[in-house]
Amino acid sequence: MGIVAGFGCGDATTTQLLPVQLMMDTASGILGEESTQALASRITRLVVAGGLLAPKAGTAGHLAQPTSYASVKEQAQALDPLQDLDALLSELCETVDVDVMPGVADPTNYSLPQQPLHRCLLPQSATLSTFRRCTNPHAFEVDGVHFLGTSGQNVEDVMMYSTHERPAEILELMLRWRHLIPTAPDSLSTYPFVDEDPFVLERTPDVLFAGGCGDEVETRLVEEGGVRCRVVSVPAFSKNKALVLVDVTSRDLEVEVVEFM
């Protein structure tokens, strides 16, 4: 199972499509040494944990959201990188299942849970059975292993308003707090649920991940009361060009990182 996040397309200062193409070709098993191709052949699913588009220039921080009042020219410029990504993702979907989650600057609703990207934004990929438009947060299973992840807003918000600086540590704390978004709705916008809080962790996932957080891949195995959970923090690909692989067949759900220069 592969996890990648934060392509940040649309920002000419940080985005290069060549590393993205290399990553997708490697995940497809087209590129790499025999050992890398053997590793890629075991990838049955790839999750893109948000961050398809870069935040709008001039906004403060990573939690800024473009408004719906953008000009026609701005909207057209935002679609150009999506069209390039759509072509790459459609090629990748020929060899592996792909889940795409929305992120903070992606064209969907701002409040969590974010709804899937509209199919018209990725028209080539959306027609394929191996492509899934997913929510943020996103829960799913791979070979009996339960995954739960976000595009990183929950971790970034805790880092902003606390002394905790390591994303993996914050993910571990969320497990112990039994809540996925502990700062909502005070500093992070969420839909106003009335009867229940869907972000309460009633079940401990086998893997808890967050995309677009920190400067490097962080992971740790959390164990308490006989229950294990692998927490994984995946940095933005535009900063640290890394693909994170989780071995769902190993007892400790071991993590391997493939980097692209």
CA end-to-end distance (rounded Å), the chain: 21
Phi and psi at 259, nearest 5°, equal -105, 150
Question: Which of 61, 68, 83 shows the shortest CA–CA distance to 17?
Answer: 83
**pLDDT value at residue 255:** 96
* CB-based contact 117:103 (threshold 8 Å): no
**The pTM is what?**
0.90
Which regions of the chain are under pLDDT 70?
11-16, 56-78
pLDDT digits (tens, 9 = 90+) for 74-90: 656 667 788 888 998 99
The residue ranges of every structural domain in the chain are 2-259
Write down the mean pLDDT value for the chain: 88
Whole-angstrom distance, CA of residue 61 vs CA of residue 160: 10
**pLDDT value at residue 224:** 86
pLDDT digits (tens, 9 = 90+) for 116-161: 999 999 999 999 999 999 999 999 999 999 999 999 999 999 999 9
For 8, 14, 128, 191, 199, the CA distances from 196, given in Å and listed in that order, are 34, 40, 35, 11, 9
Phi and psi at 249, nearest 5°, equal -95, -15
Tokens encoding 41: 């052949």
Convert 80-107 to b/e letters by CB count within 10 Å (16 or more is b).
ebbebbbebbbbbbebbbbbbbbbbbbb
Whole-angstrom distance, CA of residue 150 vs CA of residue 135: 9
2-259 is classed CATH 3.40.1640.10: no
